[in-house]
Amino acid sequence: MSSDDEGGEEYLFKIVIIGDSAVGKSNLLSRYARNEFNAHSKATIGVEFQTQSMEIEGKEVRAQIWDTAGQERFRAVTSAYYRGAVGAFVVYDISRRTTFESVGRWLDELKTHSDTTVARMLVGKSAT
């Protein structure tokens, strides 16, 4: 929490989106942040983020939402972005059972690299 120039309070919450590659994490974020959907989006390399702001009871509340790469080769880099997160969306593709079977591994990784109080939400979606 910090004060802005006008004396009001501001809150910033970091949220990560994690899950296997090609489950729809980036489109989940782009639909929320920009109301866009791209059926032909490319794989995320490393991490990307969007910030959304809203006013709640006269206070500015900002969500900083981090979209992480699902590929194994980026795992060491993306796990560093879990630190400081207060929430996590664990995403899987409802049409690909293997992505659901990976949820436990993603939860273990989140537990290893983030605060134990991080709120977790399981999101099953169709990647297309």
For the chain, domains (ranges, CATH) are 2-125 (3.40.50.300)
pLDDT over threshold 60, residue 14: yes
Q: What is the structure's pLDDT at 1?
A: 45
Amino acid identity, position 76: A
Distance CA 2, CA 22 (A): 37
| Whole-number average pLDDT of the chain | 79
CB 98 within 8 A of CB 20: yes
Q: How far apart are CA 51 and CA 65, in angstroms?
A: 6
**pLDDT tens-digit series, residues 60-76:** 999 888 887 655 545 56
Is the pLDDT score of 15 beyond 60?
yes
Judge contact between 90 and 18, C-beta under 8 A. yes
Structure tokens that stand for 43 in this block: 């794989």
